């Protein structure tokens, strides 16, 4: 209770204005915190994620990372799931996939300029140079990964030195060979020099931020759902979105609850809007947010612009597109791409770390 | 002049002043009271259409008209009564322009829509399209809220809009129509996204009421549930449903507003019964499901008067009477029931709109 | 340097007014250090466009502001270095798109996409006449935000994405255009854009190109981490010069150096010289990128332009192939990380636009 009051007080303080130093939330630059919004493993369908993390500095750094596992559990069966459709008797009111929020942390050391890479499912039993190990997440995982630069004592530092890249891949050897890859840069949250106080409450943005603030409005361009592929003329395009809250409480294992307001513009400048609440992570096609407003047959033009405004917490976003072409090897092809941000949230966010050994 | 005559003259003057003042006060009270009433059919600045249904059996035709001689704009929200998810869209109506759309189909903007003519009966989209209206998918049960705005999106009290909904049983062709419930706008709008319905000056409403207040008490004259239809006779029955929508709306945070309704039922023997029911955001209830007091066998007479009061706020109600013929192959028909607003909630409420960003 | 379009709160007065005051009182938001994929800008670089017998490219551009925006765009052929210019007009918040091979015409009779019309690729407000680059094209696209007279206008309203499709296999790779932010306070008196601003030197005209680009990648010829032996990964790097002379087509040679660090902190280096545009696999650039020489699968490559010469921007495309005889392939595009600003080391770039005549 006291901790929650303290958190609430901190969040209240974050609404004050203050000067910004030159720090950014961006997938383009090295940062003190890197966020991989989408890590997916499902060995049954041949899916895994290859994660790469690099130290951009010329000195060694320690890194503390947390996997956030949002893999769900069926309400009507003791089995894991990603969507309601994965549970028995889909379509019934009882067939609900309740999202989870399980955490797994690890600590590694990166030498000067060192890149490392690992498959999320298997991890790394030992780094190429002495520096710890990375646990595997196993055969079924959907969630995110966040990494924070720390010092030898486990205290977060202001070193903006981490660069991250993820490759989300699907590979099937039989009955026919199929492969699909999508890549994205981890979204970095840069530390603001001279503001860190060495505690486990990482203040992101707001008037007293130790790190650059999360975006106020996020915007991205996309095809509407069900567009007949204008290139191949065969198959349809299905756009999607991944959202990860900026605020997260690892100490109490409490995910944020975020309501996001959406405005969608088509190529006629016509505007529709909606809103949707999500918890630890939102992964899905845009049509799952609101089927009507993202339908090509409703919007009438091939492409649109979505602007989203989160309320209770900032969000980090990643857009993707799935093309279900029947040409070539068939199957679904996925492409991931960065979204744009406009402004910075006035109200800050908070990352609460657990005790770090 | 004698003092007596002076006194008489002064007394007459005072009397005239008091009379004039009284007339002014009466006029203000009457004018205020009239302005504080919701309107069904009178042009207004906020339109509420409490009941819209799309499913395998039902659809709805929505008509909105600009009654003014100038172009008018509106920002509208479909609100799902179960999930409380909102879908917003914009309307542009030219001078005196009526428009319409079918709930399940929405409407696109297409200047090439052919007009209706002796040779073209497929002309549902004929006319100046008011904007891109999304379709609502089967399973939608909820309301439509339209707010008159000016071109840049600020809410205004132009009082130009009227609306009508025709609820259609697509399997039988039965139609029940009801006018939109309108809230008149005043010229006190402070152009923010918080619409002040009734009430006085407050922190939230620094200029007091911007729109008329919502009814707190409604009166409904209806048949007891199970009463046979007077024409169809034995075996037939009548049921009454109420759709309840609390006036307060928080569309920014997408939070349904609660209401606790007190119902007072009077039968033809002047006997009174009371019960209560709670609503969260939106509800449609058969009276018999609220309490079996509404059934013919319990209440003892066929004709009833029910007064519905929300102790803590204003509420919008829509009554619907469903008559079933009974027999081996029953057919049914429905009609909207006229409800009468009796008192206005004096406390003031707000509709909070999501921002444009 | 101030940032791009800030969040536009439309509802003033009351809560909206307080927010506006807070925004005014707050210190200016820090600008991006260099070209970014996460913020709208005034210059868009699309480094890699590909049209041939097996590939097509879809370009998407969005105006993220609430006002009409114009842009002058230039295709530059990587083979002939010839430029083809055209203009775009985008209404507020309007997204648009076109295929590089077919371009886009202005045709108000373009039919809307609907359930009965799937041939609707040009539905929407046409942004202008976009030339068709047929039958093949390899090169880049640069778009500069302008005012009505064609002069550069640093309004920071534009975002863009490119999807390169393999028409045979259906595979797609999407990357986000690199957006260069302009200084809205600068006065531009000639059609010459100086890319000479940074966080440390905010009074320049446009954000300078980075000192270094960073590519995190797999060594050329390394096995796909998921598919394992029998598979290979190749990375194709496309480099474009930050300095572009669209007025006189005086082209400058660009020399870049590559510093490669493997997972064992071992370093290798290479360099290459090109004119204006280069797209080549890492294997073709230098053998240091090969898995045999590189010494580990994951590599971190820093790409630094030679001091005294133009800066560079880049995008990478990773191609995963399985099988030797008739490989099945999938590709993913990746944006590179950036480090530092050329402005901070006294370097800048210039983009010259043709004068109107």
Is the pLDDT at A208 greater than 90, yes or no? no
pLDDT on residue B19: 57
Cβ within 8 Å of B, C 78-117: 108-109, 111-112, 114
pLDDT on residue B37: 59
Closest CA to C160 of C228, C96, C81: C96
Instruction: Please tell me if residue C11 touches chain B, with a CB cutoff of 8 Å.
Output: yes
The answer as to whether C4 is a domain residue is no
Residues C252, C241: Cα–Cα separation, whole Å? 9
Are residues C48 and C83 part of one domain?
yes
Boundary residue ending a domain (B185, B207, B226): B185
Which of these ranges, A327-331, B78-82, B297-301, has the smallest mean pLDDT? A327-331
Average pLDDT on A103-129 reads: 94
Are residues C186 and C319 part of one domain?
no
Instruction: Please tell me if residue C332 touches chain A, with a CB cutoff of 8 Å.
Output: yes
pLDDT on residue A58: 93
Average pLDDT on A291-317 reads: 93
Return all residues near C80 (Cβ < 8 A) that are at least 6 apart.
none
Sheet holding C244-245, edge to edge: C206-207, C192-197, C349-352, C244-245
pLDDT on residue C160: 96
Instruction: Please tell me if residue A60 touches chain C, with a CB cutoff of 8 Å.
Output: no
Is the pLDDT at B259 greater than 60, yes or no? yes
Residues B205, B350: Cα–Cα separation, whole Å? 9
Digit-coded pLDDT (tens) for C212-250: 999 999 999 999 999 999 999 999 999 999 999 998 888
Residues B346, B342: Cα–Cα separation, whole Å? 12
Which CATH number does the domain housing residue C294 bear?
Answer: 2.60.290.11
Is the pLDDT at B166 greater than 60, yes or no? yes
Which CATH number does the domain housing residue B44 bear?
Answer: 2.60.290.11
Residues B232, B222: Cα–Cα separation, whole Å? 17
Cα–Cα distances (Å) from B189 to A333, B91, B210, B253, C350, in that order, read 51, 20, 5, 22, 50
Q: What b-and-e string marks burial along C286-320, b requiring 16 or more CB atoms within 10 Å of the CB?
A: bebbebeebbbbbbbbbbbbeeebbbbbbbbbbbb
Are residues C231 and C174 part of one domain?
no
pLDDT on residue B17: 57
Prediction pTM value: 0.85
B329 CB burial (10 A radius; 0-12, 13-18, 19+): exposed
Beta-carbon count within 10 A of A200 CB: 15
Chains in touch with C (3+ beta-carbon pairs under 8 Å) read A, B
The answer as to whether C265 is a domain residue is yes
pLDDT on residue C14: 43
Instruction: Please tell me if residue A167 touches chain C, with a CB cutoff of 8 Å.
Output: yes
Q: Are B161 and B66 in contact (CB under 8 A)?
A: yes
Q: What is the mean pLDDT of chain B?
A: 88
Residues C167, C187: Cα–Cα separation, whole Å? 45
Partners of A29 on chain C (C-beta within 8 Å) are 33, 337-339
Which of these ranges, A142-146, C20-24, C301-305, has the smallest mean pLDDT? C20-24
Q: What is the DSSP letter of C345?
A: G
Is the pLDDT at C161 greater than 60, yes or no? yes
Are residues C190 and C259 part of one domain?
no
pLDDT on residue C150: 85
Boundary residue ending a domain (C179, C207, C235): C207
Are residues C303 and C174 part of one domain?
no
Q: Which of A295-304, B39-48, C89-98 has the highest mean pLDDT?
A: C89-98
Helix (H, G, I), strand (E, B) or coil at A3: helix
pLDDT on residue A113: 93
pLDDT on residue C248: 87
pLDDT on residue C108: 85
Average pLDDT on B66-73 reads: 94
3-state secondary structure chain B: CCHHHHHHHHHHHHHHHHHHHHHHHHHHHHHHHHHCCCEECCCECEEEEEEEECCCCEEEEEEEEECCCCCEEEEEEEEECCCCCEEEEEEEECCCCEEEEECCCEECCCCCCCCCECCECCCCCCCCCCCCECCCCCCCEEEEEEEEECCCCCECCCCCEEEEEEEEECCCCCEEEEECEEECECCCCCCCCEEEECCCCCCCCCCCCCECCCEEEEEEEEECECCCCCCCCCCCEEEEEEEEEECCEECCCCECCEEEEEEEEECCCCCEEEEEEEEECCEEEEHHHHCHHHEHHHHCCCEEEEEEEECCCCEEEEEEEEEECCCCCCCEEEEEECEEEEEECCCCEEEECCCCC
Q: Are B163 and B318 in contact (CB under 8 A)?
A: no
Domain that residue C216 falls in: 212-352
Token pair of C55, please?
């590939």
Boundary residue ending a domain (C207, C224, C248): C207
pLDDT on residue B16: 56
Average pLDDT on B57-70 reads: 93
Helix (H, G, I), strand (E, B) or coil at A318: strand
Q: What pLDDT band is residue C350 in, cutting at 50, 70 and 90?
A: very high
Distance from CA of A62 to the nearest CA of B (A): 40
Is the pLDDT at C16 greater than 60, yes or no? no
Q: What is the mean pLDDT of chain A?
A: 89
Partners of B110 on chain A (C-beta within 8 Å) are 300
Beta-carbon count within 10 A of A29 CB: 25
Average pLDDT on B102-128 reads: 87
Which of these ranges, A93-107, B29-43, B62-76, has the smallest mean pLDDT? B29-43
Boundary residue ending a domain (C157, C172, C207): C207
C276 CB burial (10 A radius; 0-12, 13-18, 19+): buried
Helix (H, G, I), strand (E, B) or coil at C1: coil
Digit-coded pLDDT (tens) for C103-156: 998 888 888 888 777 778 889 999 999 999 978 999 999 999 999 888 899 999
Cβ within 8 Å of A, B 37-96: 85-90
Q: Are B196 and B204 in contact (CB under 8 A)?
A: yes
Backbone phi and psi for residue C247, each to the nearest 5 degrees, phi listed first: -85, -50
The answer as to whether B19 is a domain residue is no
Residues A154, B78: Cα–Cα separation, whole Å? 50
Between residues A15 and A68, the one the model is more confident about: A68
Are residues C240 and C202 part of one domain?
no
pLDDT on residue B31: 40
Digit-coded pLDDT (tens) for B269-325: 989 999 999 999 999 999 999 999 999 989 889 999 999 999 889 999 999 999 988
Are residues C148 and C275 part of one domain?
no
Are residues C36 and C170 part of one domain?
yes
Digit-coded pLDDT (tens) for B197-245: 999 999 999 999 999 999 999 999 999 999 988 888 888 899 999 999 9
Instruction: Please tell me if residue B152 touches chain A, with a CB cutoff of 8 Å.
Output: no
Closest CA to A338 of C319, C178, C211: C178
Instruction: Report the percentage of chain B scoring pLDDT > 90.
Output: 66
Instruction: Report the percentage of chain B scoring pLDDT > 70.
Output: 89
Beta-carbon count within 10 A of C149 CB: 9
Which of these ranges, A207-221, C28-42, C297-311, has the smallest mean pLDDT? C28-42
Digit-coded pLDDT (tens) for A144-157: 999 999 999 999 99
Token pair of A207, please?
């008037």
The answer as to whether B123 is a domain residue is yes
Candidates B85, B137, B253; nearest CB to A274 = B85
Are residues B306 and B219 part of one domain?
yes
The answer as to whether B28 is a domain residue is no
Is the pLDDT at B338 greater than 50, yes or no? yes
Is the pLDDT at B340 greater than 50, yes or no? yes
Between residues A148 and A22, the one the model is more confident about: A148
Beta strand pairing status for B237-246 and A72-74?
Answer: unpaired
The answer as to whether C21 is a domain residue is no
pLDDT on residue A329: 63
Which of these ranges, B41-55, C12-26, C164-178, has the smallest mean pLDDT? C12-26
Q: Are B132 and A268 in contact (CB under 8 A)?
A: yes
Q: Which residue of A has its CA nearest to C19?
A: A346
Are residues C344 and C198 part of one domain?
no
Are residues C147 and C68 part of one domain?
yes
Are residues C246 and C348 part of one domain?
yes
Q: What pLDDT band is residue A330 in, cutting at 50, 70 and 90?
A: low
Partners of B112 on chain C (C-beta within 8 Å) are 109, 111
Q: What pLDDT band is residue A326 in, cutting at 50, 70 and 90?
A: low
Digit-coded pLDDT (tens) for C310-340: 999 999 999 999 988 888 999 999 999 999 9
Residues B62, A16: Cα–Cα separation, whole Å? 46
Partners of C31 on chain A (C-beta within 8 Å) are 22
Partners of A127 on chain C (C-beta within 8 Å) are 263
Across the A/C interface, how many CB contacts are shorter than 8 Å?
A: 310
Q: What pLDDT band is residue A319 in, cutting at 50, 70 and 90?
A: very high
* Total domain count, chain B: 2
Cα-trace Rg, chain A:
20
Average pLDDT on A79-93 reads: 88
* Total domain count, chain C: 2
pLDDT on residue A22: 59
Domain that residue B89 falls in: 39-185
């Amino acid at each position: 209770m006291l901790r929650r009051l303290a958190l609430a007080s901190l969040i209240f303080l974050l609404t004050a204005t203050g000067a910004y130093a030159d720090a950014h939330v961006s997938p383009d630059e090295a940062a003190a915190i890197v966020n991989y919004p989408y890590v997916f493993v499902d060995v049954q369908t041949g899916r895994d994620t290859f994660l790469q993390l690099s130290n951009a500095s010329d000195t060694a750094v320690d890194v503390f990372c947390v996997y956030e596992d949002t893999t769900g559990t069926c309400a009507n069966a003791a089995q894991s799931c990603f969507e309601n459709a994965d549970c028995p008797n889909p379509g019934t009111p009882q067939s609900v996939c309740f999202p989870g929020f399980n955490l797994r942390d690890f600590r590694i050391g990166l030498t000067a300029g060192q890149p490392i890479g690992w498959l999320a499912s298997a991890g790394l039993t030992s780094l190429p140079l002495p520096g710890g190990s990375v646990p595997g997440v196993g055969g079924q995982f959907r969630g995110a990964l966040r990494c924070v630069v720390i010092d030898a004592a486990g205290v977060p530092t202001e070193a903006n030195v981490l660069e991250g890249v993820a490759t989300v891949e699907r590979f099937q050897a039989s009955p026919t060979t199929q492969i699909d890859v999508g890549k994205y840069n981890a979204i970095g949250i840069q530390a603001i020099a001279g503001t860190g106080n060495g505690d486990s409450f990482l203040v992101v943005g707001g008037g007293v931020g130790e790190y650059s603030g999360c975006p106020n409005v996020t915007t991205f361009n996309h095809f509407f759902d069900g567009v007949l592929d204008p290139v191949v003329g065969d198959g349809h395009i299905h756009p999607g979105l991944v959202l990860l809250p900026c605020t997260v409480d690892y100490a109490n294992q409490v995910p944020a609850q975020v309501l996001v307001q959406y405005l969608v513009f088509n190529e006629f400048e016509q505007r529709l809007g909606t809103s949707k609440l999500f918890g630890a992570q939102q992964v899905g096609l845009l049509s799952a947010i609101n089927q009507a407003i993202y339908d090509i047959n409703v919007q009438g033009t091939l492409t649109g612009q979505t602007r989203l405004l989160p309320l209770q917490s900032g969000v980090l976003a990643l857009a993707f597109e799935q093309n279900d072409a029947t040409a070539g090897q068939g199957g679904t092809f996925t492409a991931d791409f960065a979204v744009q941000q406009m402004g910075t949230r006035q109200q800050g966010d908070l990352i609460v770390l657990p005790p770090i050994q | 002049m004698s003092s007596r005559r002076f006194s008489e003259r002064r007394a007459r003057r005072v009397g005239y002043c008091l009379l004039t003042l009284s007339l002014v006060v009466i006029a203000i009270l009457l004018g205020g009271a009239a302005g504080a009433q919701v309107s069904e059919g009178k042009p207004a600045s906020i339109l509420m259409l409490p009941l819209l249904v799309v499913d395998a059996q039902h659809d709805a035709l929505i008509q909105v008209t600009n009654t003014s001689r100038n172009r008018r704009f509106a920002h509208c929200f479909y609100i799902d009564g179960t999930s409380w998810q909102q879908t917003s869209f914009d309307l542009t109506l030219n001078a005196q322009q009526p428009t319409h759309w079918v709930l399940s189909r929405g409407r696109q903007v297409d200047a090439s829509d052919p007009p209706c003519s002796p040779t073209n009966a497929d002309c549902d989209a004929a006319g100046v399209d008011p904007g891109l209206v999304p379709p609502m998918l089967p399973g939608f049960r909820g309301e439509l809220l339209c707010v008159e705005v000016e071109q840049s999106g600020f809410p205004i009290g132009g009082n130009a809009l009227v609306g009508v909904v025709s609820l259609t049983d697509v399997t039988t062709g039965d139609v029940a129509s009801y006018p939109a419930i309108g809230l008149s706008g005043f010229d006190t709008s402070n152009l923010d996204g918080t619409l002040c319905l009734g009430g006085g000056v407050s922190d939230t409403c620094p200029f007091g009421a911007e729109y008329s207040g919502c009814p707190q008490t409604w009166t409904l004259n209806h048949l007891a549930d199970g009463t046979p239809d007077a024409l169809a006779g034995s075996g037939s029955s009548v049921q009454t449903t109420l759709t309840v929508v609390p006036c307060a709306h928080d569309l920014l945070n997408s939070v349904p507003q609660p209401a606790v309704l007190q119902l007072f039922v009077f039968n033809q023997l002047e006997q009174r019964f009371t019960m209560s029911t709670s609503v969260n955001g939106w509800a449609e209830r058969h009276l018999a499901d609220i309490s079996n007091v509404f059934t013919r066998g319990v209440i003892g007479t066929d004709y009833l008067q029910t007064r519905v009061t929300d102790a803590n706020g204003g509420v919008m109600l829509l009554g619907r009477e469903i008559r079933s013929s009974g027999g081996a192959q029953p057919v049914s028909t429905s009609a909207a029931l006229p409800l009468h607003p009796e008192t206005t909630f004096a406390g003031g409420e707000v509709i909070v709109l999501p921002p444009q960003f | 340097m101030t940032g791009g379009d800030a969040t536009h709160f439309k509802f003033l007065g009351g809560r909206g007014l307080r927010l506006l005051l807070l925004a005014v009182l707050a210190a200016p938001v820090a600008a991006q250090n260099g070209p970014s994929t996460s913020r709208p800008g005034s210059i868009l670089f699309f480094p890699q466009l590909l049209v041939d017998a097996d590939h097509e490219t879809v370009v998407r551009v969005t105006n993220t502001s609430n006002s009409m925006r114009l842009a002058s765009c230039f295709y530059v052929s990587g083979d002939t270095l010839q430029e083809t210019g055209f203009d775009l007009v985008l209404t507020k918040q309007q997204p648009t798109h076109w295929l590089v091979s077919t371009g886009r015409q202005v045709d108000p009779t373009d039919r809307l996409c609907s359930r009965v019309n799937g041939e609707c690729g040009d539905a929407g407000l046409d942004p202008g006449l976009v030339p068709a680059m047929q039958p093949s094209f390899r090169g880049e696209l640069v778009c500069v935000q302008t005012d009505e007279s064609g002069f550069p206008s640093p309004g920071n309203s534009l975002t863009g994405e490119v999807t390169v499709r393999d028409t045979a296999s259906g595979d797609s790779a999407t990357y986000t255009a690199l957006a260069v932010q302009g200084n809205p306070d600068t006065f531009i008196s000639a059609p010459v854009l100086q890319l000479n601003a940074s966080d440390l030197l905010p009074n320049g005209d446009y954000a300078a190109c980075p000192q270094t680009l960073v590519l995190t990648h797999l060594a050329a010829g390394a096995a796909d981490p998921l598919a394992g032996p029998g598979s290979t990964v190749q990375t194709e790097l496309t480099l474009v010069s930050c300095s572009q002379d669209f007025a006189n087509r005086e082209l400058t040679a660009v020399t870049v150096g590559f510093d490669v660090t493997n997972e064992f902190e071992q370093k290798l280096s290479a360099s290459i010289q090109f004119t204006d545009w280069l797209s080549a696999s890492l294997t073709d650039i230098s053998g240091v990128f090969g898995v045999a020489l590189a010494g580990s699968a994951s590599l971190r490559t820093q790409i630094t332009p030679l001091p005294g010469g133009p800066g560079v921007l880049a995008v990478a495309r990773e191609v995963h192939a399985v099988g030797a005889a008739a490989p099945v392939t999938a590709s993913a595009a990746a944006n590179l990380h950036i480090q530092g600003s050329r402005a901070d080391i006294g370097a800048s770039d210039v983009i010259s636009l043709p004068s109107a005549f």
